[in-house]
Amino acid sequence: MELIYEKSVAGRSGVRIPVSDVPKAAPLPEALRRTEAAGFPEVSELDLVRHYTNLSRRNFSVDTNFYPLGSCTMKYNAKVMEQAGALFADCHPMLALLPGGEKHVQGPLSLVHGLEQQLAEITGMDEVTTQPLAGAHGEMTGIMVIAAYHKARGEKRKYVIVPDSSHGTNPASAAMAGYEIITIPTAPYGDMDLDAYRAAMNNEVAAVMMTCPNTLGIFNPHIAEICEIAHQAGALAYYDGANLNAILGKVRPGDVGFDVIHVNLHKTFGTPHGGGGPGSGPVGVKKALIPYLPTPRVVKNTDGSFGVESHPEGIGRVSDFFGNFGIMVRAFGYIILLGGEGLIEVSEQAVLNANYMMAKLKGEYELPFDMTCMHECVFSASRQLKDGVHALDIAKYLIDRGFHPPTVYFPLNVKEAIMIEPTETESKATMDAFIEVMLEAAQLTRENPDALHQAPETMPVGRLDETRAARAQQVCCEG
Amino acid sequence: MGYCPNTPEEIRDMLAVIGASSVDDLFAPIPKELRAKSFNLPAGVSEFELMALMREKARQGGTEIVPFIGGGIYDHIIPAAVDHLSGRAEFYTAYTPYQPECAQGTLQALYEYQSAICRLTGMEASNASLYDGGTALAEAALMALRITGRHAVVLDGSVNPLHREVVCGYLASLEAGVCQLPPAGCEVDLDGLMNSITEETAAVIVQHPNFFGSVADLTALAKKAHDQGALLIVSCYPIAMGLLKSPGEMGADIAVGEGQSLGNPLSFGGPYFGFIATRKRFIRNLPGRIVGETVDTQGRRGYVLTLQAREQHIKRHKATSNICSNQSLCALRGLIFVASLGKKGFADLAALNYDKAEYAKSVLGAVKGVSLVNAAPTFNEFTLRLPKPAAEVVARLLDAGVAAGVPVSGYYPGRDNELVVTVTEKRTKAEIDALAARLEEALWN
Amino acid sequence: MSMYFTKEHEWVKIDGNQATVGISAHAAHELGDITFVELPQVGKTVKQFDTLAGIESVKAASDIYAPVSGKVVAVNNKLEDAPELVNESAEEDGWICRLEVANAGDVSALMDAAAYAEYLKGLE
């Protein structure tokens, strides 16, 4: 498809801007003026609408296709939340920071506070900040809070421990917060190697970062012990909430011994992923860490009204205002709509769906860790590889059959990984259709592996040359 | 309740396939002593009750107040097509385009977005978005440290104070130095900045126009920075780029900014997007996702996420940034916004902002006891000196239904009587005249 | 001129006090299409097995370690525009940099070509 710039015709105009009701001002000095207008496309509104409507049709999405992308929790995004989000479109955040401004924005402030309270109860933490704008941003914020905590105690610790199965954001976030990384291998039973962890823990370690259930979809029964080992060395335990969907109402990270957590509103709490974002990554902490949370804090005054405060010991601002508010509206609404029982149903059905998927596929696909899984299951295409078929080939075949592929090649500790997360919002019928195609792919691997190498054939483009893209570095069109 | 579709019969069948007797069985791997000690949340409601509650909250959202405030976030027009097209479910409910063949919609749109940002800023390479203006500026600073191998930045004091706070937080974690230079009144202290560059300076960071609304030509600053082996980072207001010299034209190495003004509603602070663009030679040092052009097996043009080996999922702690989710959908809104207005419409919009602000300057500046503080030209924001503390005046006018501006004292202690006023294309002459009248009333009655 | 290998798949050719460094043909094959080589700065000094350079393919990024201690005296600038040289000729035209050897004894910790071939067999 042509680029919008290629559809541009000089002199064609799109949307009209407001008519001026003030006199034309004297021009700015030439030295400050742009010499040539920015080369934005000149298209009619219909051209524009057609272009982006047709572009959108070149996407798979949750609303059009089953999207079992492991580790991403691509659940249904309720439409009522879009209506709710739109209600706040015209609320200016700067009002909350003006002298005497708080009383004019009690609605949105009460929502921020309400969401913080909901998340604290769900995760078993004492206080929550909604400032971080995505999961990784939450991780960095959480580790900065941990650094401030140690610093206030007169300690300068150097290391953060992560398991090798962790999301790449964990070590990257800890590094941005100034720490060196110690990576612990995975033991044969699928969890972090406890002995190696014990050996690595000492009084120079600031924190251990854990995802539980981990990226293999396995609940680590030693999780409380892992927190305890950290605490004994004066280190803190960080919970990466990427997989919180599996344990809603069943386990609260705070009860288990975690000191700091982040949650991904765009995963667990059903907000749309928008083609890569926006997300939202609120951070929760135990009491001892509250003073170090970022500024500004939304507080409830004794008269029941809401105010905005900064606190001097905190790590300062990690984003400009109160977080991705529009996303927070949707998550707040989701929690109210489902209620406590609804959230428990979410984790139960998510785990049921994943185990059903696992039971149906393990005959044909290698299951490296054959045990009850939580919200996702991880297969390996190692059997198919013997016939020259990779996880990637199976993924591309699924596209031709109308399914978004699962996550492939992650986690890194499973060769040819295929990571399936159906989520609770998918029906047995949808999963059965997907399972049938997965089994078909396994059969085709034995009979005609080349057919899989050719896939996908039904999309606007076939497999793309990523090496060429990386070498050419063509990232913007001329003009 | 939780949008869970399976019937009791289906659940029974599934459990039989799994070989479990109940759903509870599936949670057996979780030891009893680790189970939740509390989960005290109210019962669920229908979407209709939820909307009633949401409407109640939105009613207390201050939307009746006429905003003459900015602070990096601006009340601009949003063409209807922006909501309509970005709301297409195929964009809205997709995820990061990891499988390019079934994500060409998102990928091509992001490539068009990157091209738009390059054209806007006069740069050569953009990523596919960052979180917001403040974090984009922090990422730019980290990028400069990586490129130069130096350990400090010079940060101009007339950069948005909220953004400065974010930058300082990020840099403090890495024990990198920050030399903050106070503004000269409302102006960027160009000489001061030039004299502050040392052999340890990775970059000079300025904002264009600055927090007080002043516009400066940064060409000489860029040259001076380059002469000393440092980079120039310019945080720019995208709407102003319809009229003002772009960072690229002035010789900047990295241009960043808050993208909200490009088609994203105020929405009480987000979601917005941060943009970042640079020279082609620095492309590998960009943080976050980048979309690149390539061809498929049959030679057809297509788009993929590229240069991924810089990113956290491959390079882990050595990645250029920890960013994973970005603000793609907001970036898409930005793209559709600039494409809706087009080359001429965008320039006209900037000119209209300038005209309205110049009119407001003349009217407000004529209020008894009020004077303009900026020595340099301004775009759509300017700073007034009032005969009374600005904080008091602002609080009083808020109750009268108008947000008159942002008092400078909140961020620059001691500058009690100064007020930064913002006038976008959405403010009418009548609203501007009314502000002047109210201001006079608040000052003298 | 003699050629040695490391367990991390770097090769080094020693010629007097000059050592030319690259990655083995085996490593280049395993990495797949190379998209970028991060060359070291001329003048940089490294200890044996320290990180010397970096190399990237589409889906992987690896460090290249110094097979011997020394000072970088030259880099293969051709790789800036043609990283594919590493795939095409890993052990000749795709060389990465040249070191001035600090300690001739370092090679005793390395494998010769025959030992490396054996080592690769063990990895299969």
DSSP of A388-443: T--HHHHHHHHHHTT----EES-STTSTTEEEE---TTS-HHHHHHHHHHHHHHHH
- Rounded to an integer, what distance in angstroms lies between the CA atom of residue C111 and that of residue C7? 8
- Rounded to an integer, what distance in angstroms lies between the CA atom of residue A70 and that of residue A419? 5
The verdict on C83 touching A (C-beta cutoff 8 Å) is: yes
Q: What is the pLDDT of residue B237?
A: 98
Neighboring chain C residues of B308 at a CB cutoff of 8 Å: 58-59
Q: What is the pLDDT of residue B1?
A: 67
The verdict on A57 touching B (C-beta cutoff 8 Å) is: yes
Across the range A388-397, mean pLDDT stands at 98
φ, ψ for residue B131, nearest 5 deg: -70, -55
pLDDT bin (cut points 50, 70, 90) of residue A188 is confident
- Rounded to an integer, what distance in angstroms lies between the CA atom of residue B81 and that of residue B333? 9
> Which of C30, C31, C34, C35 is the best substitution to test chain A (most A C-beta atoms within 10 A)?
C35
The residues in A 41-70 lying below 8 A from C, measured between CB atoms, are none
Residue A389 lies in a domain: no
Q: Residue type at A169?
A: T
Span A35-62, pLDDT tens digits: 999 999 999 999 999 999 999 999 999 9
Q: What letter does residue B244 receive in the DSSP assignment?
A: B
Neighboring chain B residues of C58 at a CB cutoff of 8 Å: 308-309
Q: What is the pLDDT of residue A189?
A: 79
* pLDDT value at B7 more than 70: yes
- Rounded to an integer, what distance in angstroms lies between the CA atom of residue B111 and that of residue B108? 5
Q: Residue type at A299?
A: V
Show the tokens assigned to A189.
Answer: 């039973």
Residue A109 lies in a domain: yes
For A211, how many CA atoms within 13 A lie in the half-sphere containing its CB?
Answer: 31
Mean pLDDT of chain B: 97
* pLDDT value at A283 more than 70: yes
φ, ψ for residue A75, nearest 5 deg: -85, 170
Across the range A132-138, mean pLDDT stands at 98
The verdict on A418 touching B (C-beta cutoff 8 Å) is: no
Nearest Cα of chain A lies from the Cα of B346 at a distance, in angstroms, of 8
Q: Are B270 and A323 in contact (CB under 8 A)?
A: yes
Give the closest of C32, C59, C83 to A471, CB-based: C83
Q: Are B273 and B260 in contact (CB under 8 A)?
A: yes
* pLDDT value at C124 more than 80: no
Across the range A421-438, mean pLDDT stands at 98
Domain span(s) for CATH 3.40.640.10 in chain B = 80-337
Q: What is the pLDDT of residue A479?
A: 74
Q: Are B384 and A54 in contact (CB under 8 A)?
A: no
Which residue range is the domain that position A213 belongs to? 81-337
The order of strands in the sheet holding A283-285 is A127-129, A283-285, A260-263, A236-241, A205-211, A159-163, A180-184
Nearest Cα of chain A lies from the Cα of B188 at a distance, in angstroms, of 14
- CATH number of the domain to which A165 belongs: 3.40.640.10
For strand A260-263 and strand A236-241, is the pairing parallel, antiparallel, or unpaired? Answer: parallel
Question: Given an 8 Å threshold on Cβ–Cβ distance, is A53 in contact with B114?
Answer: no
The CATH classification of domain B80-337, taken from the options 3.55.40.20, 3.40.640.10, 3.40.109.10, 3.40.50.410: 3.40.640.10
Span B124-181, pLDDT tens digits: 999 999 999 999 999 999 999 999 999 999 999 999 999 999 999 999 999 999 999 9
Show the tokens assigned to B168.
Answer: 């300082």
Residue A92 lies in a domain: yes
> Which of A189, A457, A476, A477 is the best substitution to test chain B (most B C-beta atoms within 10 A)?
A476
**Number of separate domains in chain A:** 1
Span B330-389, pLDDT tens digits: 999 999 999 999 999 999 999 999 999 999 999 999 999 999 999 999 999 999 999 999
Residue A425 lies in a domain: no
Q: Are B186 and B346 in contact (CB under 8 A)?
A: no
Mean pLDDT of chain A: 97
Mapped onto helix, strand or coil, the DSSP state of residue B82 is helix
Cβ-based neighbour number of residue A465 at 10 Å: 18
pLDDT bin (cut points 50, 70, 90) of residue C2 is confident
Domain span(s) for CATH 3.90.1150.10 in chain B = 66-75+342-444
Q: What is the pLDDT of residue A350?
A: 98
**Domains assigned to chain C:** 2-103 (2.40.50.100)
CATH topology of domain B66-75+342-444: Aspartate Aminotransferase, domain 1 (3.90.1150)
Distance between first and last Cα of chain C: 29
Q: How far is CA B268 from CA A2, A114, B74, B75, B271, in A?
A: 36, 15, 11, 12, 9
Residue A60 lies in a domain: no
* pLDDT value at A135 more than 70: yes
Nearby residues of B25 by Cβ (< 8 Å), 6 or more positions away: B15
